[in-house]
Amino acid sequence: MSEFEYAPELIKFSYFIAAILFIVGLRRMSAPGTAKGGIVWAGFGMVIATVVTFLTPGMENYWLILAALVSATVLAWVSGKKVAMTDMPQMVALYNGMGGGSAAFIGAMELYKATNGHQMSAIPTSLALIGVFIGAISLTGSLIAFGKLQGLIDKRYTFPGQNIFNGIFALAVIGFGIYTFTHMEAMNLWIFFGGALVLGFLMTLPIGGADMPVVISLYNAFTGLAVSFEGYVLGNWAMIVAGMLVGAAGTLLTQLMAKAMNRSIANVLFGSMGGDDSGGADGDQGEMKEIEGADAAIMMAYAERVVIVPGYGLAVAQAQHKLWEMTQLLTENGVDVKFAIHPVAGRMPGHMNVLLAEAGVPYDMIEDMEDINPQFKQTDVALVIGANDVVNPAARDDPSSSIYGMPILETDLAKNVIVIKRGRGTGFAGIQNGLFFKDNTKMLFGDAQDAISELITGLKEL
C-alpha cells in the first residue's frame, strides 16, 4: 500500500484538506451554537490525517499501530462517556499530558536513532530537542495539575528559595540540552529527557489549585508546540499545522484567563496564589443572614429582573436541568431572567456555558461579564449558585486581598442577592467572601439541587 505510485502527492493533498478542516473546526468552536459542529469538522480532519499516514513510504509495524489506535479509541470513547462534567478539567489535563508526552517520546526516539548513526541535520536535531524539552514538561506538569484538580494532591509544596532553585535547575537542563546537541549520545539524551520530566514536576507542585485552569491552558500550548516541532522533524505537515493551531490557541487562552484574573502568567507560575491562601479578606465580617427557599422564591417571583450567576457548585450538584426548570417558571411569570458568566467560572473556560447548553438554556439569555456588570444596579435579584471567588467584592475593594484587581461579576450592586451555598467555607482560592455578609445578601444553604428544588416548589405554590 505504501508503494502506491501517487502516495506522496495524495498524502500532501490529504494533509492540506485536514489542515483546512482543523482551521474551520477551530473557528466554529469559538461560538456555543456552532461548537459541536466544529468538533465534528476537526474530528473528520484528524481521521483523514490518520488514515492517509498509512500510505507513508517505508512505514512498518501496521498491526502495532492498528492495535494502539483501536485500544486508545475504545479507552477514550468509554472514558469520555463516563466522565462527569465536573471532572472535565481533569480529563483535559490528563489527555493534554498524554499529547505532550507522545510528542516528547517521538522526538526522543528520533534523536535516539541519531545516536546509532542515523543522520539528522542541525535544524531537525535542535527542534527535536526543544520538542522533547517542552513536551516532557507538559507531560509531568499536566499530571500534577490532574492530581490537584482530582483532589489527589491537596496542597502546595513550597520551600524557601524555590523559584531560584527551579530557575537554576531549568537553566541546567537547558544547558545539558545544548551539550546533548553537540555530543549526541544515548545516555546524554535520556538524562536530558529525565531532567525535563523532573522540571515539569518542580514547576507545577508549588502552584495552588485555583490557578490550575491557567496552568492547564499553558501546558496545552506547550503540547501544541512540541507536536509542531516533532512534525517538522518527521516531515509531517498535518502535525505541524495541528500543533501550531493548538499552540497558538492555548497561548491566547492562557493570556485571556490570566487577564480575567488580573494577573500575569509569570505571577501564576511563580506567585503560587491559590489553594490554601487566605488573602486579606478574612476576619470577623459579621453574620451571614439566612433565608428560606419559599421566601427566596417569593422575592424572585415578584422581581422585574433576575440575574443568575452559576458556579462550580452548580456543576457538582448537576443541577443545571433544575435551574432551567426554575428559569422557565420565572419567565412565565413575566420576570426578565439573564445568566451571567465569568471568564474563569467553574474549573475551565466555557465550563458553565456547556452546562447551561446541556440543560437547554438559549444562548441569548447568557451574558458575558463585560455586558452584564453595568446592569446589576438595575437588577432586583442576583441569584448566585455555587460561585465564590468570581463574585468576591474584595477583588474590587480590598487592596490587601491576594485577588485584588481581578475582574468580578458585581452582584453586590444588585438590590438583593441570594447565595446558594453548601456551607460557610471559603472558595477555591481559600479567600473569605465579603459578599456573604452584606446587608442586601441572604444565604440559602444546601446542595444546589435541593435548594433549587425548594425554589421551584415555592414558585409553583404562588
Active-site annotation holder among 389, 397, 447, 450: 389
Indicate the DSSP class of residue 314.
Answer: H
Question: For residue 330, what are the β-bridge partners?
Answer: none
Question: For residue 444, what are the β-bridge partners?
Answer: 420
Helix, coil or strand: residue 301: helix
Indicate the DSSP class of residue 373.
Answer: G
Residues 6+ apart with CB under 8 A from 69: 50
Taking CA atoms, 84 is separated from 6, 27, 40, 143, 315, in Å, by: 46, 26, 21, 19, 9
Q: Which residue has the cell 483532589?
A: 151
Biggest CA–CA distance in the chain, Å, is: 82
Q: Is 389 a catalytic residue?
A: yes
Sort residue 350 into left (φ over 0), alpha (ψ -120 to 50) or beta: left
Indicate the DSSP class of residue 288.
Answer: P
Q: Quick one: cell of 36? A: 459541536
Helix, coil or strand: residue 100: helix
Q: Quick one: cell of 281? A: 479578606
Helix, strand and coil in the chain, % to nearest 5: 65, 5, 30
- Identify the CA nearest to 129 among candidates 86, 95, 176, 72: 176
Question: Alpha-carbon distance 8 to 180, whole Å?
Answer: 33
Residues 6+ apart with CB under 8 A from 102: 135, 227
Do 241 and 153 meet the contact criterion of CB atoms below 8 Å apart?
A: no
Give catalytic residue positions: 389
